[in-house]
Structures are given as C-alpha cells and as structure tokens.
Structure 1
C-alpha cells in the first residue's frame, strides 16, 4: 500500500497499544507532519523551493485529499512565502491535522477507530493498527537503511529526518548500540554525497524550518 510521508510518520508516532500519540512527539508532531506534507507536494512536483520561498509549479491538484487541502492553502496565497511560514499556515489552516491523517488511515484500512465516551459526553477516540504490516514495513525500511547500509531514496531520508525532529528515534532503535548508530547516521545526512539536487535542498530546508518552528515556543518560555 502506498502511504504518504505524513502517514508513515504518523504511524511511527502512534502508540500501538494505547492508540494515542507517543508522548515525546506530542509537541513537535504537527510541525513535522506539515513538513512531511510540503515534502510530498515537492515530490509530486506541485511546488518547488526557489530562492528560499515556496513556488507553485503545477495547477493540477494532488489526488490525495489531505495533500489537496495543503495545496489549496498554498495556492490561495497571493505572495510566495518561506517554508517556516507555510509550516505555521498548514498547522493553522488544517485544524486537527494529526486527527485528519488518522481518519485518512482508517479510510485506507490501516487503522481502526475505537470510540470511548468520557462521562457519557466527551468522546476519547483511539486509533489502533488494523494491518500491522504497514507500520512494520516502514520501521523495517528505516532500520535496514541505517543498520545494514541498504539503498535509500529521498523520501526515506526525509522520514528519518522528521523522525529525529519528532524525538521518535528511540521508538525505532530501542537498543542502545543501535540507537548510537542511528544518531551517528542522522548526523551525516547533510554531508552525504548520495543526496543531491533540488529536492534534496528542499529536504534540508524543510528540516531546518521544522526545527526552527519547534524551537520557537522554547525560546519564548526562557
């Protein structure tokens, strides 16, 4: 099954037993998901990064409904803006982005939704894996790339970068030795000679914008 980068990231961020987001990712995940949407749009040749701003290069809307929402937000702007601006805009203009993606995965038969009423009034839904192989395949792909030097593509590298930004590396590499290898591999991403071209530049800029967006509230509090 073909999943978007945002969907793959969300599967990793979900606690399979609780059906909720892993606590460590709760603050950063929306920015990371927005960054994943921007990469997906770039990968589909809908937008490109040019002179540090995002430029629409195709009038054809994406088939994926959530990517379509993100694309509509961007195309309604009268002026080009930088990536950090669009991260904030997507988080604001697509309310409940994480839940929208979860519902999307329910529709794709990857997750199933369990409704639980609190005090018989408030709904407290949980999203549990229906086809465990989807997340397993994503995690295995990342582990094979980092631990066994398997070939990788730009989507996988971007996923690894966003997993790191969302503080989820330990979820994929629980063993200390593997975790050290993973962190060392991630540090080498910007210097890798295997990653090049316009999309790789966009990848690096998206990662920088996500990290900046995550760190802004921390700076304000200190």
Structure 2
C-alpha cells in the first residue's frame, strides 16, 4: 500500500468508520507529506530536509500521484520543502477524498454515506478486514517496542507520518508512550524527509496554509 493509503487506514477509527480526532490540519498536511514521500521513493522527485527537486515532469502510471506532482511543481524545478507541503496541503481535503475514493474503488474500503469500513472480502487485498490495519499497527509497534529493531527507510518514513499526525496515541498505550516516546522520535527522525514533514505540520499549527505555500 502507498504511504497515503496506510495513513488513511491508520487515521480511520475501525469502530466508527470516521476519522480519529487529530490536531488541526495535521491529516491534510500529513497526507501531503505522504504523497511527497511516495514520489521520492518512486524516484519522481529528489528530496532533502530543505527542498525538493523535480526529476520527472509527469508520472502517468499513477494518476493521483501525477496530479499531486503537478500541484507541487507549478512550473518550478526546485521548491522549498515547506512550500511544496503547503501547495499540496491546500488540496488536502481533495487528497483525502480521492485517496478514500481509490480505496473504495480497489474494494479495500466499503462506504456508507460518510462512514468507511475496511472490507472483509477485498479481492485486491484478501487480508483486508481489520487485519489490514492490524498489520500496519503491528509493524509500527514491533519497530518501536523492540530496542534492537532498525527500520528500513520506508518504515522510518511511515513512523514520521504517524508522529506528524500524532497517531501514536491510537497505536500505543499511555504507559508505552511514556516509556518509548524518545525511541519513537529517534526512529522517525532517521528519515530526513519524514522529519521535515513533522516540522511542517508543527509550523502549520501557527500558520495558514496559504502562508505556508508562499514561504
């Protein structure tokens, strides 16, 4: 699954089918970061903590990723990281709805009005039902709770997205958070792009998205 899909799955409350209550704008900005991470790992853009460089002007293999790429680039070849996040986050609600729509089309989620549940008979992801979410949660828990575990780059990036949206509150108990918070942040910080996303979310709490996109 893509970073965006994993983030959406984690952000949905499996009991209610609605999104968990999250800090202001964090899901939209976190999802913007998820798209940037996906484009980075697919070698469509190059990223560091300060800026992104466009390597490919089109990415037709994935229409939603290609749309995100066009929003980011706006004719530029190199964009400050926070500006790229801001540009995408301005389309955050659309990114959320399009990612949900894709998961419904892929028969991963069932929709009932504005409520979304993981399907129990997905032909695309036969492990769906709640095991799909549990597998992602288990992956995160195993990395953080095992002091010997070393995350792969993609895993560190996922941890950073979780940290940006403060979703660790839905994955770890209060006692676990107290004990392992420093390790969680250390592992999430192993991915420079991921930690830049965390910083962008924190900055956005004090800024309007238009201001972030103009930085």
- TM > 0.5 fold call: yes
What's the CA shift string for 1:129-167, capped at 9, x where partnerless? 112222111101001111124342122112212212212
TM-fit CA distance, 1:69: 1.1
- Whole-angstrom CA distance in 2 between matches of 1:146 and 1:205: 20
Q: 1:188 aligns with which of 186, 189, 213?
A: 186
Q: 1:66 maps to which residue? A: 64
> Which residue of the partner structure matches residue 104 of structure 1?
102
Unaligned runs of 5+ in 2: 120-127
Partner SS for 1:216 = coil
Name the structure 2 match of 1:129.
Answer: 118
- 1:209 counterpart residue number: 200
Check the 8 A contact 1:69/1:94 in 2, yes or no.
no
Deviation at 1:25, TM superposition (A): 4.6
TM-score by length of 1: 0.79
Contiguous gaps of at least 5 residues in structure 1: 116-124
Superposed CA deviations along residues 49-76 of structure 1, whole A, max 9, x for unmatched, are 3693221112451523321211122343
RMSD: 2.4
1:22-56 Cα offsets, whole Å, 9 max, x none, are 01356311001101111111111111136932211
Judge conservation of contact 1:31–1:91 (CA < 8 Å) in 2: yes
* Rg (Cα) greater in structure: 1
Number of residue pairs aligned between Structure 1 and Structure 2: 199
- What are the within-5 Å matches in structure 2 for residues 1-222 of structure 1? 3-25=1-23, 27-49=25-47, 52-61=50-59, 63-78=61-76, 80-93=78-91, 95-115=93-113, 125-130=114-119, 131=128, 132-148=130-146, 149-174=148-173, 176-189=174-187, 195=190, 200-216=191-207
Give the TM-score of the pair, scaled to structure 2: 0.81
Q: 1:213 deviation in Å?
A: 2.0
Q: Distance in 2 between matches of 1:30 and 1:55?
A: 22
Partner-residue secondary structure (3-state), 1:55: strand
